[in-house]
A and B are shown apart, each in its own frame.
Chain A
Amino acid sequence: MNIFGPYTNRVLRINATDLKYNVEELPQDWKRNFMGARGFNMIRLLMEVPPEVDALGPENKLIFGVGPTNGTNIPGQRFNVSAKSPLTGILGDSNAGGHWGTELKYAGYDQLIIEGSAKSPVYIYIENDKVVFKDAGHLWKKDPKTVHNIIRNELDDLDVQVICTGIGADNGVKFAGLFSNIVRANGRTGMGTVMSSKNIKAIAVRGRNAIKPHDYAGFNSKVENLINVVKNHREFDKRLMVGTTHLMTSLNATGQLNTKNNQTGYFPYTEQVSGERLALEYNIRNKGCFGCIIPCSRYYLVPEGKFKGMHGEGPEFETLAGFTSRVYNKDLSVAVRCHELCTDYGLDSISASGLISFAMECYEMGIIDKSITKGLDLSWGNGEAVIELLEQIGKREGFGDLLADGILPAIERIGEVSRKFAMHGKGMEVFLGEPRGIKAYGLGKSVASRGADHVRADPFFETLGDPQKGIEKFGIAETADRLAWKGKGMVVKYFEEWCAISDSFNMCKNTMVSMETLDFKGIAEIYSALVGEEYTAEDVQKIGERICNVERIYNTLAGIRKADDTLPERFTKEPLPEECGPSAGSVLELEPMVNEYYLERGWDVETGIPTKEKLLELGLEVFISELESKGVQLKEKN
């Protein structure tokens, strides 16, 4: 057993084409500049994967990263998977919990890079320094549960951690994720599709090493304090009971629940499909990610009806709302079945439900009919049709095949007239909140580096509704008012940096950010004890800012400009209907918000490209010449 520090300083690079591997040293300056996990992955992507490569070709690289806290006793440990996205064509990145990431760290790696493409299906087995390639012909187009069971049997090890693709990725669905602990999903941006394109079905990891902080006593006592804060948090019991699904009821009450493809923010049948009902009638126990002391995942057993006896972990809010309010389905067991299918087929449930609700609205508007849907009755609330269409997407059969490449190809195939019903940002389907009722989230989604996404910023601050808090924190009362737009550029910048650190330190965002258990100062104190170097709150926030700018440089090289930082007109022009109560009449004032955000960021207000001044300030000047050599014009300063 080796004892590593908070960084193992080792990067495992696997060439899938030759089935060879080598171990490299982690660039030492990365630790101070990018911290870990998402930060490491983003700089790696920028340096090694030109945005013009084919996302599904051997030149794309699939990068797995863990952070300095993985393997320690920090509560709720996660990991990131990144590559160029086959769904959006810009940067792809997805963060998940479970146990796999920490196992990779225990095996002795901060990062794992997979390049090239295998000639036939393989899976990779990593046990500390040992890397073995095994045939995966018998696992191809199998679901994650089956793959987990077969690999654990083959390796005769119940403790081996497996990450794999589902059936959909192997069929080439563009928004397929990666699945570890069977149901833990790196869901967004098609990372499963990338792994499948490399003919790799799974990566099984067993780590037998240990992690030692620089200052054990200092670090351990600080984390024990943090653990006590979490255990005594006012939301502890609620999160154990309903996890994120409490949002069904709370968002609906204020008219912010994505209903009928964002036609409205109010779903009258919410009580029948709420997180509370799921908890009381379906859930039998809790499940936790590695080291989690607020284990908010729930294990269900369907008690009655057509799917009686079905059991598994989940669903979380996005999936639950995706297959209820979004498609107007009021049958809870149908939604749980869809959740199970998303796991079996290995699909991103947000994208999948977004595409289905898009198709349903096209059907309602008469843009498509049964001759196009091949007989499917896509009326709102038709649960059976939703289940059927979801399976068709996973199999790439029937009408589902038309949707399986994501929203932009779907518009092309159905026709321009469908564009106004396509709820996406940069080609990725939107989440299950209603951005007109939570405007910082709206801004966050429009500027998010991986396409419309809510956890790049997760600016819950605006929902506090306390003007005094807004003045104290950001100097503007409206920043704490979800229906106001002023100051939201500042809020989104701050929260993007906090979230980037959460994904790079790699502690659960729900626990760190949403529950406000660690601010930049708290992170700096723990991080300093962990690595033995002094960090201030400002240092840590600066790392977050640097990561956000690296992501912007990558997307700028991929052609992203101001015009892409937007959302469909539904959000900016159609006021929320009367039934949305306190949110009724609201629209998203996106343009002034984006301008304000660019000013806060030090990005060119005309183009959205970072200014030279900002890149110099962040020590990213090396990329100025690269951008200019690709014909990108950078402004000196704003």
Chain B
Amino acid sequence: MKKLITDSKKCTGCQACMIACTGEHYQIYSTENARVKIVKLEDKGADIPIVCKQCKNAPCIKACPVAALFKNEQTNATLLNEGECIGCGICAEACPFGAIVLDSNEYPLICDLCKGSPKCAEICPVNAIKFEDTNKLVEKKRNKLAERELTKNFKKWGITI
């Protein structure tokens, strides 16, 4: 299953992802009610994207006292049944990543993966946010490492590839 995967080493802090998010959801541009956030530690030059990790055993869903949160089986996104939500904010408190924010009316904003093709990942010019299958990503990493190891060994053996 694909999920949003972030890389803080690549993030430039431009926040294009945030305005793409509000554009998609509300046809307005704003950083305030974006469902993806960039933490900027300016004096360290660091920009850290924070997104919903679509947890399998989601603390937000478990914490919700009125069962207003549920999983979309196709995309694995955590969705909000707005009619049920009582605006208590417990889901936001429960999220270990601080990825759920409350809007100006104190109702939660949770990433819904834009119905399966997240705009934040689409817009990011440096792939600091990617929409990928974790296993696929890990596989690529593993293969790269193996290749490096192999090259090192080959070099030791005097073989050039």
Residues of A bordering B, CB below 8 Å: 1, 3, 71-73, 75, 99, 106, 145, 148-149, 152, 158-159, 181-182, 207-212, 216-217, 220, 227, 231, 240, 285-295, 297, 299, 311-313
- Decide if B15 touches A291 in the complex (CB within 8 Å): yes
- Taking the closest CB of chain A, its distance from the CB of B78, in whole angstroms, is 23
How far apart are the CA atoms of A556 and B126 in the complex, in Å?
A: 47
Q: Across chains A and B, which 6 residue pairs bring their CB atoms closest together, nearest first?
A: A288-B14, A210-B30, A288-B12, A295-B12, A210-B28, A293-B125
Which of A72, A158, A291, A293 has a CB less than 8 Å from the CB of B40? A158
- Decide if A289 touches B14 in the complex (CB within 8 Å): yes
A208-B32, A295-B14 in contact; A216/B27 too (CB < 8 A)? yes
Which of A71, A152, A285 has a CB less than 8 Å from the CB of B29? A71
Interface majority SS on B: helix, strand, loop or mixed? loop
Q: Which chain B residues lie closer than 8 Å to A158 at the CB level?
A: 39-41
A72-B19, A231-B125 in contact; A148/B29 too (CB < 8 A)? no
- Decide if B43 touches A145 in the complex (CB within 8 Å): yes
25 contacts between A and B (CB under 8 A): A1-B30, A1-B33, A3-B28, A73-B16, A73-B19, A75-B16, A148-B42, A159-B31, A208-B32, A208-B104, A210-B22, A210-B28, A217-B27, A220-B23, A227-B123, A285-B9, A285-B45, A287-B12, A287-B45, A288-B12, A288-B125, A291-B14, A292-B14, A295-B12, A313-B45
Q: Mark B1-36, 1 if CB is under 8 A from A, else 0.
A: 000000001101111100110110011111111000
- Decide if B125 touches A73 in the complex (CB within 8 Å): no
- Decide if B28 touches A211 in the complex (CB within 8 Å): yes
- Taking the closest CB of chain A, its distance from the CB of B127, in whole angstroms, is 12
- Decide if A1 touches B104 in the complex (CB within 8 Å): yes
- Decide if B123 touches A293 in the complex (CB within 8 Å): yes
Number of A-B contacts (CB under 8 A): 104
A1-B104, A231-B125 in contact; A292/B16 too (CB < 8 A)? yes
- Taking the closest CB of chain A, its distance from the CB of B149, in whole angstroms, is 25
A73-B23, A158-B41, A285-B10 in contact; A212/B28 too (CB < 8 A)? yes
- Decide if A291 touches B16 in the complex (CB within 8 Å): yes
Most buried by A among B14, B26, B32: B14
- Decide if A73 touches B15 in the complex (CB within 8 Å): no
How far apart are the CA atoms of A1 and B26 in the complex, in Å?
A: 13
- Decide if B19 touches A212 in the complex (CB within 8 Å): no
- Name the residue on A nearest B8 (C-beta): A285
- Decide if A299 touches B45 in the complex (CB within 8 Å): yes
How far apart are the CA atoms of A293 and B125 in the complex, in Å?
A: 5
A220-B23, A299-B45 in contact; A290/B32 too (CB < 8 A)? no
- Decide if A159 touches B19 in the complex (CB within 8 Å): no
How far apart are the CA atoms of A73 and B122 in the complex, in Å?
A: 13
- Decide if A1 touches B32 in the complex (CB within 8 Å): yes
- Taking the closest CB of chain A, its distance from the CB of B126, in whole angstroms, is 6
Number of interface residues of B (CB under 8 A): 31
- Decide if A73 touches B32 in the complex (CB within 8 Å): no
How far apart are the CA atoms of A570 and B76 in the complex, in Å?
A: 69
How far apart are the CA atoms of A227 and B14 in the complex, in Å?
A: 14
- Taking the closest CB of chain A, its distance from the CB of B40, in whole angstroms, is 7
Most buried by B among A72, A208, A287: A287
- Name the residue on A nearest B124 (C-beta): A293
- Name the residue on B nearest A287 (C-beta): B12
Q: Which chain A residues lie closer than 8 Å to B23 at the CB level?
A: 73, 216, 220
Q: Mark B101-121, 1 if CB is under 8 A from A, else 0.
A: 001100000000000000000
- Name the residue on B nearest A220 (C-beta): B23
Given contacts A207-B32, A294-B125, 15 further A-B contacts (CB under 8 A): A1-B32, A1-B33, A71-B29, A72-B29, A73-B123, A158-B40, A210-B26, A211-B28, A212-B29, A227-B123, A285-B10, A287-B13, A288-B13, A293-B14, A295-B125
Interface residues of B in 33-58 (CB under 8 A from A): 33, 39-43, 45, 47
Q: Which chain A residues lie closer than 8 Å to B123 at the CB level?
A: 73, 227, 293
How far apart are the CA atoms of A313 and B46 in the complex, in Å?
A: 11
Q: Which chain B residues lie closer than 8 Å to A208 at the CB level?
A: 30, 32, 104
- Taking the closest CB of chain B, its distance from the CB of A91, in whole angstroms, is 31
- Decide if A209 touches B30 in the complex (CB within 8 Å): yes
- Taking the closest CB of chain B, its distance from the CB of A526, in whole angstroms, is 14
- Taking the closest CB of chain B, its distance from the CB of A152, in whole angstroms, is 8
- Taking the closest CB of chain B, its distance from the CB of A6, in whole angstroms, is 10
How far apart are the CA atoms of A231 and B122 in the complex, in Å?
A: 12
- Decide if A99 touches B15 in the complex (CB within 8 Å): yes
How far apart are the CA atoms of A299 and B43 in the complex, in Å?
A: 11
Q: Which chain A residues lie closer than 8 Å to B39 at the CB level?
A: 158
Q: Which chain A residues lie closer than 8 Å to B16 at the CB level?
A: 73, 75, 288, 291-293
- Name the residue on A nearest B30 (C-beta): A210
How far apart are the CA atoms of A231 and B41 in the complex, in Å?
A: 26
Q: Which chain B residues lie closer than 8 Å to A287 at the CB level?
A: 12-13, 45, 47
- Taking the closest CB of chain B, its distance from the CB of A634, in whole angstroms, is 44
How far apart are the CA atoms of A245 and B94 in the complex, in Å?
A: 46
- Decide if B27 touches A212 in the complex (CB within 8 Å): yes
Which of B9, B31, B43 has a CB less than 8 Å from the CB of A149? B43
How far apart are the CA atoms of A220 and B23 in the complex, in Å?
A: 8
How far apart are the CA atoms of A287 and B47 in the complex, in Å?
A: 9
How far apart are the CA atoms of A312 and B45 in the complex, in Å?
A: 7
- Taking the closest CB of chain A, its distance from the CB of B136, in whole angstroms, is 23
- Taking the closest CB of chain A, its distance from the CB of B105, in whole angstroms, is 9
How far apart are the CA atoms of A158 and B50 in the complex, in Å?
A: 14
- Taking the closest CB of chain A, its distance from the CB of B17, in whole angstroms, is 10
- Decide if A148 touches B27 in the complex (CB within 8 Å): no
How far apart are the CA atoms of A152 and B43 in the complex, in Å?
A: 11
Most buried by B among A181, A216, A293: A293
- Decide if B40 touches A210 in the complex (CB within 8 Å): no
- Name the residue on B nearest A211 (C-beta): B29
Q: Which chain B residues lie closer than 8 Å to A75 at the CB level?
A: 16
- Taking the closest CB of chain A, its distance from the CB of B26, in whole angstroms, is 7
How far apart are the CA atoms of A235 and B103 in the complex, in Å?
A: 39
- Decide if A311 touches B30 in the complex (CB within 8 Å): no
Q: Which chain B residues lie closer than 8 Å to A181 at the CB level?
A: 42
- Decide if B14 touches A148 in the complex (CB within 8 Å): no
Q: Which chain A residues lie closer than 8 Å to B41 at the CB level?
A: 158
Q: Which chain A residues lie closer than 8 Å to B45 at the CB level?
A: 285, 287, 299, 311-313
How far apart are the CA atoms of A528 and B31 in the complex, in Å?
A: 24
- Name the residue on B nearest A1 (C-beta): B104
Q: Which chain B residues lie closer than 8 Å to A288 at the CB level?
A: 12-14, 16, 125
Q: Which chain B residues lie closer than 8 Å to A212 at the CB level?
A: 27-29
How far apart are the CA atoms of A275 and B39 in the complex, in Å?
A: 29
How far apart are the CA atoms of A99 and B42 in the complex, in Å?
A: 12
